[in-house]
Amino acid sequence: MNLQVILFSIFAIGAVASALLTITRRNPVASAMSLVGHFFMLSGLYLTLEAQFVAAVQVLVYAGAIMVLVVFVIMLLNLGKEQQLAERGNALRITLGTAVAAIFVVLMAMAVLGRPTGANQLSDQAIAIGTTEAVGQSLFTEYLFPFEAVSLLLLAALIGSVILAKRHVKEGV
Amino acid sequence: MLPTSIPLDYYLILSAVLFVIGVVGVITRRNAIIIFMSIELMLNAVNLSMVAFSAFSGDIAGQMYVFFIMAVAAAEAAVGLAIVLSLFRNRQTVYVDEVNIMKW
């Protein structure tokens, strides 16, 4: 048992467990907190892959920005525990969900185990391409156009969300 | 040579399992905000496999995609939560099965 195996096991089990907690908790705040834990576990997994920049951005953007937004909305809506649906819909939904999950897991296992990639060694460049310097270098040269496009998308999303969430005072809605 | 003994396949299977957990969350839950969080789970599962491919092949493109996916996820979070807010303001519910005005 070397360090890599131990770290991968901890982060992988933590990621799966926190993901399961996220989708099973009745209380939305508990779900959101489990999801924050999940993002930290994923950040650890990125570090085992030598992707330092992505790991830092994961914590900053997901655990920091997006989850604060989600928790804010939960607070604004003052949500309580989710009520169980009494009618037939619930059993059907859970059966369907489990069936989809089983089929997909079997398909993916067949796809991955049927043709193993055989890669068990990180590339020699793995450390070099994970740094902020390398990512920034690439972002502002080769990927400059998508970078500008994504900034436009963020601006559009910003304006769109303000308009959507605004109270329409004149119509009295 | 970097020392690692975790094969790429392990990361891919972990990513698939996390993606499936997200799918099950979307199918089984009724709360729009939790469905929204399950979508984030799926996005992150894909990000994990992208970073794994990037690190194992030594190509930075995978990490660039992850960066852009995060930006799109942030935009999606803003718009999605605004929709949930205005839905709650108009219908006093966040349960997706109680919103069936577009269902025939």
Whether residue B1 lies inside any domain: the answer is: no
State the pLDDT confidence band at A144, using cuts at 50, 70 and 90: very high
Q: Provide the residue type at B64 as one letter.
A: M
State the pLDDT confidence band at A1, using cuts at 50, 70 and 90: low
Is the Cβ pair A19, B11 closer than 8 Å? no
Whether residue B102 lies inside any domain: the answer is: no
Residue with tokens 């933590």: A14
Residue A89: its pLDDT value, please?
Answer: 60
Q: How far is A100 from chain B (nearest CA, A)?
A: 8
The CB density around residue A63, as the number of other CB atoms within 10 Å, is 18
User: Using CA atoms, how far apart are residues B59 and B53, in angstroms rounded to an integer?
Assistant: 8
* Mean pLDDT, residues B62-74: 93
Global pTM reads 0.88
* Mean pLDDT, residues A94-106: 84
Whether residue A112 lies inside any domain: the answer is: no
Question: Mind listing the pLDDT tens digit for each residue in B16-67?
Answer: 999 999 998 988 888 889 999 999 999 999 999 999 999 988 889 999 999 9
Whether residue A173 lies inside any domain: the answer is: no
**Choosing among A73, A79, A166, which should be mutated to test the B contact, i.e. which has the most B CBs within 10 A?**
A73
**Tokens standing for residue B49:** 């496999």
Host domain of residue B46: 8-91
Say how many domains are in chain A: 1
Q: Rounded to 5 degrees, what angle do the CA atoms A7, B72, A101 make?
A: 55
Provide DSSP, B21-49. Answer: HHHHHHHH--BHHHHHHHHHHHHHHHHHH
Residue B18: its pLDDT value, please?
Answer: 93
ipTM for the predicted complex comes to 0.91
Contacts of B57 in chain A (CB under 8 A): 123
CATH code of the domain covering residue A9: 1.20.120.1200
Which residues contact residue A123 at a Cβ distance below 8 angstroms, ignoring those fewer than 6 apart? B2, B55, B56, B57, B58
Evaluate the CA torsion angle A83, B88, A73, B30 in order and state its sign. Answer: positive
